[in-house]
Amino acid sequence: MLLVIPVIDIKDGKCMRIFAGLDDKTEYYTDNPVKVAKLFRKENFKALHITDLDGALYGEMKNYEIIKEIAHSVDMPIQLGGGIRSIETAEKMFNELGVYRLVIGTAAITIPGFVERLVDKFTAVKIVIGIDEKLNNVVTNGWINYANITPLEFAKRVESFGITRIIYQDVTRVGNYGGPFCERIVELAENTSLKITVAGGIGSYAHLKQIMDLNIPRVDSVMISRAIYENRFPCQNLWRAIEKKDTSFDLPPAKI
């Protein structure tokens, strides 16, 4: 079984989604990320991922107060990424927010020794590396810049730093229900010992089954955003009907 982790992407204080890795193609879902987090908790998800998209773009967390309110409002493990580029910021997230683990992306490439220092101070259990791909090249700074390193090369590099888990996604598939990039997932799994969380493009049970059918135990979890907001999994009908009065946005019918 795969652990399904819902995603709250925050930009300008709102829940939103970037499509296909393009900053100018965005869709806002609600002005109230805290209410969304509470809904996910009521729907019995076991963990939550939050990304500060402004932080990912500008290099420092811009939505800290909202994320703090979420962290103090739900009793579930929170995985947080976006703009974490110093030991001090990481320590603040653990100590003040009580997040379960941090996701490091751009800083793992641009700041020499940063990942090793994080692992040494907080242990590998608490640090995950996000690998965002576009055309077999890792992209950074909110998917704007090419890092001139392939996903596999980057995965091997961070594994050598002591990292044990990565989050992998092809950003050209994000938000478009194009399905996971299974060939790359297999390549990463066969050439490293890393645990892999898959994100990007997942829009149906068929896509989840594609991942499960890979039969790779270390590919053990997925992160899903738009498909959950848009109620594309039939079991969400019951959950959302019960909670509908508590939501601040309309929910479309589920799709198989």
Q: Which CATH number is 50's domain given?
A: 3.20.20.70
pLDDT band of 246, cuts 50, 70, 90: very low
Domain that holds residue 71: 3-246
Q: Answer whether residue 254 is part of any domain.
A: no
Per-residue pLDDT band at 25 (split at 50, 70, 90)? low
* Signed CA dihedral, 58, 10, 75, 124: sign only: negative
Residue 63 lies in a domain: yes
Quick: pLDDT tens for 58-110: 877 889 999 999 999 999 999 999 989 999 999 999 999 999 999 999 899 99
Q: Which ranges of 123-200 does DSSP label H, i.e. alpha helix?
A: 151-160, 182-191
pLDDT of residue 59: 77
Q: How confident is the model at residue 140 (pLDDT cuts 50, 70, 90)?
A: confident
Beta-bridge partner residues of 78: 48
pTM of the model: 0.87
The whole-number pLDDT of residue 245 equals 45
Measure the CA–CA gap between 239 and 72, rounded to whole angstroms. Answer: 23
The answer to whether position 255 is within a domain reads: no
Listed range (141-145, 158-162, 180-184, 186-190) with the worst mean pLDDT: 141-145
* pLDDT value of residue 251: 33
Name the residue with higher pLDDT: 116 or 43: 116
Domain membership flag for residue 39: yes
Counted domains in the chain: 1
Burial (Cβ within 10 Å: 0-12, 13-18, ≥19) of residue 1: exposed
Annotated catalytic residues are: 9, 132
Exposure b/e, 63-75, CB count within 10 A at least 16 = b = bbebbeebbeebe
Are 43 and 37 contacting, i.e. CB atoms less than 8 angstroms apart?
A: no
Q: Please report the pLDDT score of residue 145 as a whole number.
A: 85
Give the mean pLDDT of 119-137. 97
pLDDT at 20: 54
**Quick one: average pLDDT of 19-44?**
75
β-bridge mates for residue 26, sequence order: 18
Percent of the chain with pLDDT over 70: 86
Distance CA 99, CA 113 (A): 23
In a domain, 239, yes or no: yes
Per-residue model confidence (pLDDT) at position 10: 93
The identity of residue 228, as a single letter, is I
Provide φ and ψ at 58, rounded to 5°: -105, -10
The alpha carbon torsion through 80, 12, 34, 221 (nearest 10 deg) reads -30
Residue 52 vs residue 238, higher pLDDT:
52
**Confidence class for position 5, pLDDT limits 50, 70, 90:** very high
Residue 24 lies in a domain: yes
Sign of CA dihedral 108, 109, 113, 114: negative
Domain presence at residue 211: yes
Q: Would residue 210 count as lying in a domain?
A: yes
Cα 253 to Cα 92, 112, 202, 228, 249: the distances in Å are 40, 47, 17, 11, 13
